[in-house]
Amino acid sequence: MNKYALFLGCTTPTQVPQYEMSARWICKYFGIELIDVKDFICCGINQVNLSIEAGLLMAAMNLALAEDKKLDILTLCAACTGALLEAVEKLKDQETRDKINNKLQAIGVEYKGNVKVRHISRVFYEDLGIERIKKETKKDLSKLHVAPHYGCHYLKPKSALGGFDEPDNPKTLHQLIFATGAYPVGYETLNLCCGGKVFPVSEDLVDSLVQKKLDDLAGKEIDAMVLQCQTCYLMYSDRQNEVNKKYGKQYNIPIILYPQLLGLALGADPVKNLGLNLHTVSVDKVLEKIA
Amino acid sequence: MNKKKETAMFKRPVSSSDFDRNFRSEVVKHPDASGLSTCFSCGACTAGCPIHEVFPEYDPRKLAKMVKLGMRKQVLSSPYIWYCATCHNCEQRCPQNVKFFNVLNVLKNMAAKEGYAPSCWIKQTKQVGKTGIVFSTEEKWVKKREELLLPVLKLEGKDAKKIIELSGINKIKLKVNSE
């Protein structure tokens, strides 16, 4: 199936439009049709803090809207992926589904249990495949050394991912980076969480986590960090300045989203198609290196 | 973070007469927390926790133990239960398949009912009821999208409001300032 309901989430369309731009461009390039569903709401991941049932209800409503259009869901945000996938698992239970559908009646939707949810990188990995991506690349990115960052909910909870990738030793993003011609660099804090989900509660906790990873990367010869979630992006990119001030550091690590890296390899316009001019930490060094 | 106050609260001697013996069963009654019964306090959760790494007083094993002992008030009023980064490492490491992320959610739901939820989550829920997402439709974002030729975001939140009402989370009020 080459047609998906695009689940934008809350943060990408409002604060990281370059992720959305580049994702749409790549999908168009490969003939993956993205359908905008105007009634989609937040995935519910933060609402489980107050009520597990509320979070499930919100996720179920989104699943039902996609199901109604006979579409599977393609996500951009790692956290939305995790939340929706956990809901899919929970709603496999008939009793739970009945209970939720009972409430969803009030807005005239019902979830029958037939929606698959996949993150955009997983769709690239599974549907396009590494070989196809490799064949399409036009620009030489072999000079680029980048640090992959997966995003926790892209890999976990493992029980909801159906055997996709391996949380403790992930490889799909490494391979997707290889496919563009760039080189994924290994580093110790690869699996360290960005802390994004605790940001509203404590900025201090997030800054300590971000600093730890940036400090590890600052000692490596890398040109950028490549990630696949807008929340991780905001933590490492927009918090980088704050962390510099707070810890008296001069980290200057460009943060790039995977579809932007792939776009560069496919010959997309860095500004018009990929929004690489919109970054808080300038990516000019990266562009100069591959010019 | 009011570190001093929190440290004092966690290190103060506790008296078993203050324990609520029903607390543990109340928690594990919820399907999302049922696994907690099998926890043998090995501490793999704490060892794999990124928040514990940067803020050692946040300790999943300790919280689990406190639940099992029946330290109801100390657990539900603790700001620490809101410090989880939701990375799922605890669940990934646990030899007993306890989903501590889900256990914490059960605890947070109970704490919220008792008025201990941080205001950020209550505010966010109100926002979702208005626009369907956790942000408002700020003019600068709408304009930026236009400039970038991205589709217009239609955030009417008509069903979001209903969903929030149906779930009952609009009734959760902040009674105690836990921040």
pLDDT tops 60 at residue B1: no
Give, to the nearest 10 degrees, the angle between helix A230-247 and helix A78-90: 130
Per-residue model confidence as pLDDT tens digits over B127-151: 999 889 998 878 888 899 999 999 9
Mean model confidence pLDDT for chain B: 89
Q: Is B154 contained in some domain?
A: yes
Same domain, B8 and B46: yes
Please report the pLDDT score of residue A233 as a whole number.
98
pLDDT per residue as tens digits for the range B43-62 = 999 999 999 999 999 999 99
Same structural domain, B102 and B135:
no
Burial status of residue A137 (CB atoms within 10 A of its CB: 0-12, 13-18, 19 or more): middle
A-contacting residues in B 58-87 (Cβ below 8 Å): 82-87
Residues of B in contact with A82 (CB under 8 A): 88
B129 and B149 belong to one structural domain: yes
pLDDT range class, residue B8, cuts 50, 70, 90: low
CATH number of A3-119: 1.20.1050.140
Residue of chain A whose Cα is closest to the Cα of B119: A201
Whole-model pTM: value is 0.95
Selecting from B85, B148, B167 the residue whose C-beta is nearest the C-beta of A53 gives B167
Question: Are the CB atoms for A231 and A197 separated by under 8 Å?
Answer: yes
Nearest one of A270, A87, A18, A42 to B128, comparing CA atoms: A42
**B65 within some domain:** yes
A144 contacts A224 by C-beta, under 8 angstroms: yes
Are B112 and A202 a contacting pair at CB < 8 A?
A: no
Pick from B68, B84, B112: which residue ends a domain?
Answer: B112
- If pLDDT is split at 50, 70 and 90, which confidence band does B179 have? very low
- Which chain A residue is nearest to residue B101, measuring alpha carbons? A157
- Looking at the structure, do residues B93 and B130 belong to the same domain, yes or no? no
What are the residue ranges spanned by the domains of chain A?
Answer: 3-119, 131-290
> Per-residue pLDDT for B174 more than 80?
no
Q: How many domains does chain B have?
A: 2
Both B104 and B166 in one domain: the answer is no
Give the domain A131-290 fold.
Rossmann fold (3.40.50)
Which structural domain, as residue segments, surrounds residue B56?
3-112
Q: Provide the number of CB pairs (under 8 Å) joining chain A to chain B.
A: 176
Q: Which of B85, B112, B139 corresponds to the end of one domain? A: B112
Q: Is the same domain home to B24 and B7?
A: yes
In a domain, B143, yes or no: yes
- Out of B54, B108, B128, whose CB is closest to A42? B128
The nearest alpha carbon in chain B to A213 belongs to: B50
Q: Higher model confidence: residue A46 or residue B155?
A: A46
Collect all residues of chain B within an 8 Å Cβ-Cβ radius of residue A270.
none
What pLDDT score does B3 carry?
A: 54
Smallest CA–CA separation between B24 and chain A, in Å?
18
Q: Considering only the beta carbons, identify the residue of B86, B112, B166 that sits closest to A103.
A: B166
Per-10-residue mean pLDDT, chain A, length 291? 92 96 98 95 95 96 97 98 98 97 95 98 98 98 98 96 95 98 97 97 97 97 98 97 96 98 98 97 97 91
Last residue of a domain, one of B84, B112, B140: B112
Is the minimum CB–CB distance between B1 and chain A shorter than 8 Å? yes
Residues B125 and B104 in one domain: no
